[in-house]
Amino acid sequence: MRGNSFLRICALIGVASVAACGNTATTQPAQSSGPTSAPQAAPTITSEPFGQVNGTPVSRYTLANGGLRVRILDYGGIIQSLEAPDRRGHADNVVLGFPTLDGYLASNGFASKPYFGAIVGRYANRIAKGAFTIDGAAFHVPVNNNGNSLHGGTSGFDQKVWQATPQNGADTVGLRLRYLSPAGEMGYPGTLTATVTYTLDRDDRLTIDYGATTDAPTVVNLTNHTYWNLSGESGLGIYDEKLTLNADRYTPTDATQIPTGQLAEVKGTPMDFTTPTAIGARITDADPQLMNGQGYDLNWVLNRGDDTSLVPAATVEDPASGRTLTMRTTQPGIQFYSGNFLTGAYTGTSGHAYRQGAGLALETQHFPDSPNHPEFPTTTLNPGQTYHQTTVIQLGTE
């Protein structure tokens, strides 16, 4: 995802343009039978063809509520676009992505693959040297990033066509995705049945529920890799956007971006986002951790104690558009990546090249390399257990 390049702060100028869906098959959710004080149309879900992968059809599903519209592919579970209104009611696409399936397929061959909007797994983030043990048994998975394994290896969940099922509720619509990962795929033990459900409600909340079961001990760490730019996908980049992270500590890394095992305090460092701070304010500081990732590409330890319920994770505010994004999650960590290795090699949905700082990723997940750090929250999943994590994303304006 992230090869070597010099850090450059660049602007992307343009007007976002997302093609409207053509002939679609529409499923209307049932209307609530109870009285409402302010009746409004229920959220809807539609679908349309979006190409093929090795002869397997790919579909694009659109979840819509008022001015919010989310387009999701059953290939990789990718959030391909998300249109949200600004403070004046003007809707723009606020996530990075490709206009066609071919763009996603072509990016699979890049060493600095961006994983735009995708579900990543079986293990999100890095595993040192692609090696780990479970109950004394050694396992090896493909290395694809500075001698380490990143996001499941060379052919992770982002490259699979998932089985998709629309979900309808009185006040919500959703898309349930299921993928069966056979034992030994990418070197991981156990047959893993993974599900990811995207749900959009009337309050413009997008909930992502992750689930998994296994028939043998394995490791699992799932997340979504959407890149956000609240000024608009073709806008001026994310360095002026203000970020808040509910984290007093982070996990420092070595030169290959593998955690040292330390949980370091953010206070007094460029990693302190405990109050709203412009992303570009300290990104060029001569801090070794920023230099390792050529910008922000680290895991923050969320303030949650022993609580496993939803807690605040991140808030992003865009002064120009007035758009806001808040995240809550059950996960223990969040990887903040500031798009450091976007070099202009990818052309997005608006026809503009994505350069450094074109978008930011906020990946709620377990810590990197947890299988090799027993002091970190465990990512081991055993038969009879159910992996379950939830992240709720709220779009709004101020």
Give the residue numbers marked as catalytic: 225, 363
The C-alpha R_g of the chain, in whole angstroms, comes to 20
Strand ranges across the sheet with 172-181:
163-168, 172-181, 192-201, 205-214, 387-397, 323-329, 311-317, 242-245, 277-278
Q: How far apart are the first and last CA of the chain?
A: 33
- Nearest-angstrom CA–CA distance, 156 and 143: 12
DSSP string, 60-88: EEEEEETTEEEEEESBTT-EEEEEEE-TT
CB atoms closer than 10 angstroms to residue 346: 22
d(CA 269, CA 266): 6
CB 279 within 8 A of CB 243: yes
Strand partners, 12: none
Q: Reply yes or no: is the peptide bond before residue 122 cis, omega within 30 of 0.
A: yes
Contact status, residue 27 vs residue 46, Cβ threshold 8 Å: yes
Helices (H), the chain: 101-107, 288-293
Q: Is 262 in contact with 250 (CB distance < 8 Å)?
A: no
Q: Report the distance separating Cα 176 and Cα 167, nearest Å.
A: 7
Computed from CA positions of residues 236, 347, 396, 325, in that sequence, does the dihedral angle turn out positive or negative?
Answer: negative
Contact (Cβ atoms closer than 8 angstroms) between residue 31 and residue 40: no
**DSSP code, position 293:** H
Q: What SS3 class is residue 15?
A: coil
Both tokens of 151, joined, read 């996001």
With 0-12 CB in 10 A as exposed, 13-18 as middle and 19+ as buried, what is 96? buried
Residue (of 233, 229, 266) closest to 251 by Cα position: 266
Please, are residues 331 and 302 in contact by the beta-carbon 8 Å criterion? yes
